[in-house]
Amino acid sequence: MFGINKPATLNDFQNGGSLHLHLEPHNTDTWVINSITVTLNFAGSVTPPKKITFAGMTPVSNNNTELSLFFGPDFKQR
């Protein structure tokens, strides 16, 4: 995966997108996250911000440090 070093536009998400979380430092913590809500504001757009709520996630722990959350072009969890 690679980063994009520019403001996001609405067109960048015409096929959906993802949010990736990485637990660091590695230790004995376990995070049980019930939900995450993300608000996306798009550069150069008059479109209102898009709010995405993710739920039903696998707990993040030392044995499972990565969490990828996907959404479709309708900005709904996939």
Contact 21, 46 (CB under 8 A): no
Contact 15, 74 (CB under 8 A): no
Contact 21, 76 (CB under 8 A): no
pTM exceeds 0.85, yes or no: no
Q: Rounded to the nearest 5°, which phi and psi values hold at 23?
A: -80, 125
Biggest alpha carbon–alpha carbon distance for the chain: 44
Written as tens digits, the pLDDT of the chain (78 aa) is 456 677 778 888 999 999 998 877 767 778 888 899 999 988 777 889 999 999 998 888 888 888 899 999 999 999
Interior angle at CA 16, CA 11 and CA 18, nearest 5: 115
